[in-house]
Each structure stands twice: as C-alpha cells, then as structure tokens.
Amino acid sequence: MLNKEAAIPTPPDSHRALLQQLRRYLRESKKILDAWDAYSDENTDLDGWPYDDHAYGLRASQRDADTAQAFETVRAGAHHLLATAQTQLAMLPSRAVQNRWVWQLGTLRDGLDRLDALHEQWLQTRDSLPADARPGTEAFDDALAAYHADAWSCLDDWATHGHAVHDINAAARHAPSPLAPPPTATAALSTGSSGKVRS
C-alpha cells in the first residue's frame, strides 16, 4: 500500500497561479490596513473616538470595499487552495508541521464559508432592490456598504492567516519523499557482508 506521505507533487501551473493571487491579496490587504491604521490614528482622540463620525464611517466603508475588491481575484480559487493545503498538511511528516497550521486552516475555512453565505445574501438583497436602484444610488450603495462591512472581519482573517497556505505549500515542496530510503539503509542494501560494495 502506498504511504500517503509519498512524494508530494510540485503544484501545477493553475495552483501556482492561485498562490500568486493569494500572495497579491496579502500584499494589497496589508497596504489597505496600514493606510486605515494611519488614518484612524490621525482622526481619533486618545480614547479612540473619531473626531468626525461621518467622515470616519465613510473611510471605514472605503477600507471594507477596497479589501473586498482585492479578495475578488482569490475568491474563485479559495476553496481549491484550502483543499490542497489540507491534503498537503496530511501528507507532511509530523516534524515538518507547525501546530498553528491546523487552527489557521480552520479559521480560513470558517471565514470562507461565512463569505460565501454573505455573498448569497448580498445577491438576494441586490435582486430585491427597486428597479431604479443602481450603483451610485443611495439604496444600492448603502446595501453594498452593509455587505462589505459584514464581510470585512472574514477578509481580515484571510489577510492575517492566509500566509499559512503558502507556508504549508513551501513545507510540502521541500519535504523529503518517504519512498527514498534513508542514507544508512541505502548503504546497507548496496554492501555485502564484507563491507565491500557489490558490483
């Protein structure tokens, strides 16, 4: 029976492309959050209360929308990324596994499930809006902002823990194949009782 820890294949081009999209999201979401933190620091008092609630709310909505837009390139392949990471994690020898990875993958999966549910709710909300509610109208924009606000914490989870998918992939690519016997076993098989290498 083939050991499940047998050779972990190199990711195909499609998987590499998804990993690159995730890497781009991690970079973009960090820039968005850094810009938000800078804005928040400059526009709140020492107790964290905003000087202008309305302006602060608009800026928070922009943060939410920008983060959601950045995640769009990842959304279609996110389930594949998680499934692949889970498979890779199961194939890794225990010495190569970080304890946090299981928890991080669970956090990412819960976040993605929540994002999927919120997206379905948004589609239903959008379809129920009046016919004249289009992007740029108050009814549409308010509903979209509410959707982005609900999704933001899950998107932030992906920004915080998404690197675990890359870490697991890197560990899987560098893990030795258990099909290759250790050097001492190889030497023992290739030498005779006299210690001379067999011809």
Long-range Cβ contact pairs of 159-163 (< 8 A, separation 24 or more): 159/25, 159/26, 159/29, 159/30, 159/33, 159/67, 161/104, 161/107, 161/108, 162/22, 162/25, 162/26, 162/108, 163/26
Buried-state track 163-191, b at ≥16 Cβ within 10 A, e below 16: ebbeebbebbeebeeeeeeeeeeeeeeee
Residue 157, in any domain of the structure:
yes
Domain that holds residue 126: 13-73+98-173
39, pLDDT greater than 60: yes
Does residue 144 form part of some domain? Answer: yes
What band does 174 get if pLDDT is binned at 50, 70 and 90? confident
For residue 39, tell me if it sits in a domain. Answer: yes
Alpha-carbon distance of 62 to 55, in angstroms, equals: 11
Host H or E run for residue 5: none
Q: Is residue 92 part of a domain?
A: no
Note whether residue 190 is domain-resident. Answer: no
Give the residue among 154, 162, 58 at the shortest CA–CA distance from 105: 162
Q: What is the pLDDT of residue 177?
A: 55
Span 77-110, pLDDT tens digits: 999 999 999 999 999 988 889 999 999 999 999 9
Separation of alpha carbons 152 and 171, rounded Å:
29
How high is the pLDDT of residue 12? 59
**pLDDT band for position 180 (cuts 50, 70, 90):** very low
| Residue 166 is assigned to a structural domain of this protein | yes
Q: What is the pLDDT of residues 107-164, one digit of tens each?
A: 999 999 999 999 999 999 999 999 999 999 999 999 999 999 999 999 999 999 999 9
Q: Which of 161, 119, 174, 172 is nearest to 22 (CA)?
A: 161
Q: Which amino acid is at 175?
A: A
Return the DSSP state at 136. Answer: T
pTM comes to 0.80
181 domain-assigned: no
**Number of domains making up the chain:** 1
Q: CA neighbours within 13 Å on the CB side: how many for 27?
A: 7
Write the CA distances from 18 to 44, 142, 181, 198, integer angstroms: 38, 32, 33, 49
Q: What is the distance between the alpha carbons of residues 153 and 185, in angstroms, rounded to a whole number?
A: 51
